[in-house]
């Protein structure tokens, strides 16, 4: 397979994964929107966005400080937790590997952090990252979150990350 074909195949797999992820987000937000409407929530889009941004920053700070309890506190602790990566999709809090391991990137640089409300009590968040999982290995990519309002405040219910495709090897 040529380098161009390999890159195109990677992009095609990434597009299918991203499409599945977006579909899940829309289904979850529709259900949460209905639940929020039934509760008669008085939260505004601006407050939801501000609260989600606080939780987002808390999540990243916990990664930087390698604080597992603080990191886990930013997520919903239910079977509705969804984590998605190029390796696939996993659901639920109880069997999440992050609860049992204490693996952290050597370095994480966050760029372009943004949030936007998508329904009452539901906010989508995005950032680009530069990560160093181990010294000498640098990755770039995109990480996204969906935040939902819970009795404890805004919590992450969907988390996904994708590394950028590796550039084709140069022909020197």
CATH code linked to domain 3-163: 3.10.450.50
User: Taking the complete model, does pTM exceed 0.85, yes or no?
Assistant: no
Q: For residues 41 and 108, give the distance between their C-alpha atoms in angstroms, rounded to a whole number.
A: 36
**Residue pLDDT, tens place only, 68-90:** 999 999 999 999 999 987 778 88
Cβ atoms 146, 28 nearer than 8 A:
yes
Q: Which helix (H) or strand (E) holds 80?
A: none
- Which residues, 6 or more positions from 77, have their beta carbon under 8 angstroms from its beta carbon? 93
Q: DSSP secondary-structure letter at 42?
A: -
**Residue pLDDT, tens place only, 105-163:** 888 899 999 999 999 999 999 999 998 877 777 889 999 999 999 999 999 999 998 88
Q: Which of 140, 90, 71 is nearest to 112 (CA)?
A: 140
CA atoms within 13 A on the CB side of 2: 3
Banded model confidence at residue 98, pLDDT cuts 50, 70, 90: confident
Domains of the chain by residue range: 3-163
Cβ atoms 115, 53 nearer than 8 A:
yes
Q: Which of 2, 29, 13 is nearest to 119 (CA)?
A: 29
137-150, strands of its sheet edge to edge: 88-91, 82-85, 153-163, 137-150, 122-134, 107-119
Q: For residues 155 and 123, give the distance between their C-alpha atoms in angstroms, rounded to a whole number.
A: 10
Locate 132 and state its tokens: 């160093």
Cβ-based neighbour number of residue 11 at 10 Å: 11
């Amino acid at each position: 397979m040529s380098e161009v074909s390999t890159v195109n195949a990677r992009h095609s797999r990434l597009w299918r994964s991203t499409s599945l992820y977006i579909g899940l987000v829309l289904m979850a937000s529709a259900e949460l929107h209905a639940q929020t409407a039934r509760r008669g929530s008085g939260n505004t889009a601006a407050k939801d966005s501000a609260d989600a941004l606080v939780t987002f920053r808390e999540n990243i700070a916990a990664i930087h400080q390698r604080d597992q309890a603080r990191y886990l506190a930013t997520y919903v602790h239910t079977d509705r937790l969804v984590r998605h990566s190029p390796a696939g999709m996993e659901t639920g809090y109880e069997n999440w590997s992050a609860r049992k391991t204490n693996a952290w990137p050597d370095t994480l640089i966050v760029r372009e952090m943004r949030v936007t409300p998508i329904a009452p009590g539901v906010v989508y968040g995005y950032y680009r990252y530069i990560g160093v999982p181990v010294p000498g290995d640098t990755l770039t990519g995109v990480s996204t979150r969906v935040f939902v309002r819970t009795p404890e405040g805004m919590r992450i219910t969907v988390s996904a990350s994708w590394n950028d495709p590796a550039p084709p090897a140069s022909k020197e």
